[in-house]
Amino acid sequence: MTDPANLIEVQGLRKYFGGGSHPVRAVDGVSFAIRHGETLGLVGESGSGKSTIGRLLTRLAEPTGGSMMYRPQDGAALDLATLSQSQYRPLRSRIQIIFQDPYASLNPRMRIRNVLDEALDTHGLAPGSARLPRIHALLEQVGLRSEHAERYAHEFSGGQRQRIGIARALAVEPQFIVADEPLSALDVSIQAQVVNLLCDLKEQLGLTLLFISHDLDVVEYLCDRVVVLYLGRVMEIAPTRDLYANPQHPYTRALLEAAPVPDPAHRRSITLLKGDLPSPAHPPSGCVFRTRCPQAAEQCAIHDTTPRETSPGRWTACWRNE
């Protein structure tokens, strides 16, 4: 998968929580690549490991195994998984994260000016008299006003706080941003505003975006390619249009079918997935989806489910697509 167009190459990434013979396998052998300048969607339900992957890439959590190759155009390739925290620190001005909860991600006792100040300070950006204008410019870039800098976080709505979170991530001039469910805590009408903002910023700043979400409609709108996860493993990877028009993996099909369409003229009865998510400490053997799959067969329990490339750019983990 070594391709000069890739900014990030994740290979066999694993994160297990807890020790003993049955650790919780939050991420269990995930491999994918993110190309320069693309928006990659990471889609899954709870327990899929998508948020954990975001935290692993930004080293807010330590990986248990696997590699995360970072290949900037203007520097040497580095394996993010093996760096120590102090070695990773300089990269924090290149790789940033936007969090899901706009209420918890801002310190309630800090003014917005200090929030952005801290970000700029940490990497020695815009020193001295250039600092305040830079802070104001950042706020305007995300659709707020310069006078907002003097206020505290609790004086803003959820959508505004999310904009502040975006401004904070942008302050250090990153080239790669992990957006960890940035819309989930927002009202629908505000989500559209933030989606537009993200699109604009990506355009203006040439960002590469990893968009983590469970909302399939937004992912379809925003992303160039999509990775579908289930119980810590990759089920399918495909360009967006192909994935939505012709999903190959049974889980992807179930996900797309289950999402309610806002059109009463299209009411349909769907095949429901039976049962619940299995325990991540005791994942089923073979294909982890087989306990709920409408097309499960006996060999699903022993088949190797490493995703295979079924056509250029499309990978699936289901043996039925080979």
Partner 1 sequence: MSVDSRWSLQLRRLFARKVVVLAACMLALIVLVAAVWPAVSGADPNAIAVSERLRAPSAVHWAGTDELGRDVLLRIVHGARYSLLIGCVTAAGAVLLGTLMGILAGFFTRLDAPLMRLVDAMMSFPDILLGIALVSILGVSLWNVMLALVVVYTPRVARVVRAATLVLRELLFVDAARALGVRTHRILWAHVLPNLMSPVLVQLTFIFAYAILAEAGLSFLGVGVPPEIPTWGTMIAGSLEYSDRAIWTVLFPGLAIVLTAVSLQMLGDGVRDMLDPKLKKAV
Partner 2 sequence: MSAIKATSRLEVRGLSTSFATDAGRIQSVADVSFSIAPGQTVALVGESGSGKSVTSLSLMGLHARTSQAQMQGEAWFVRRDGTRVNLLALREDRLRALRGNEMAMIFQEPMTSLNPVRTIGAQIAESVRLHRKLDRAAANAHALRMLELVEIPAAAQRVHQYPHQLSGGMRQRVMIALAMACDPTLLIADEPTTALDVTIQAQILALMGRLQKETGMSVLFITHNLGVVAQYADAVAVMYAGRIVESAPVHALFADPQHPYTRGLLECLPGVARRQGHSLAQQAGFQLFSGPATPRRTRLLAIAGQVCSPLSPPPGCAFAPRCPKREGVCDCAMPALQSTAPDRQVRCTVLARQPIANHHDPVTA
Please identify which residue in 21, 85, 86, 189 interacts with partner 2, judged by CB under 8 A: 189
Contacts of 28 (CB under 8 A, 6+ apart): 14, 16, 49, 231, 232, 233, 283, 288
Q: Which stretch binds partner 2 (CB under 8 A): 11-19, 78-86, 165-173, 251-259?
A: 251-259
Interacting span for partner 2 (CB under 8 A) from 30-38, 130-138, 192-200, 306-314:
192-200
Does position 106 interact with partner 1 (CB under 8 A)? The reply is yes
Which one of 31, 39, 105, 208 is in contact with partner 1 (CB under 8 A)? 105
Site membership for partner 2, residue 195 (CB under 8 A): yes
Contact 153, 107 (CB under 8 A): yes
- Confirm if 129 and 196 have CB atoms less than 8 A apart: no
Q: Which of 160, 213, 252, 291 binds partner 2 (CB under 8 A)?
A: 160
123 sits near partner 1 (criterion: CB under 8 A): yes
Q: Which is nearer to partner 2, 190 or 210 (CB)?
A: 190
Site membership for partner 2, residue 267 (CB under 8 A): yes
Q: What's the closest the beta carbon of residue 267 comes to partner 2, in angstroms?
A: 6
# residues contacting partner 2 (CB under 8 A):
45
Part in contact with partner 2 (CB under 8 A); list of ranges 120-128, 269-277, 282-290, 299-307: 269-277
Q: Is 108 in the site for partner 1 (CB under 8 A)?
A: yes
Which x/- pattern over 83-102 shows residues binding partner 1 (rule: CB under 8 A)? ------xx-xx--xx-x-x-
User: Using CB distances below 5 to 8 A depending on partner kind, what does residue 159 bind out of partner 2, partner 1, none?
Assistant: partner 2
- Which residues, in sequence order, are bridge partners of residue 111? 152
Return the residues of window 32-61 that contact partner 2 according to CB under 8 A.
45-46
Find where tokens 């890739």 sit: 6
104 touches partner 2 by CB under 8 A? no
Burial string for 117-151 (b: 16+ CB within 10 Å, else e) reads: bebbeeeeebeeeebeebbbebbebbbbeeebbee
Looking at beta carbons only, is 58 or 191 nearer to partner 2? 191
* 277 contacts partner 2 (rule: CB under 8 A): yes
The distance of closest approach from Cβ of residue 251 to partner 1 in the complex, given in angstroms and rounded to an integer, is 29
The nearer residue to partner 2, 45 or 121, going by C-beta atoms, is 45
| Binding stretches for partner 1 (CB under 8 A) | 58, 60, 89-90, 92-93, 96-97, 99, 101, 104-110, 114, 118-119, 122-123, 151-152, 154-157, 165, 168, 172
| Binding stretches for partner 2 (CB under 8 A) | 45-46, 157-160, 187-193, 195-196, 199-200, 203, 214, 216-218, 220-222, 254-255, 257-267, 269-270, 272-273, 275-277
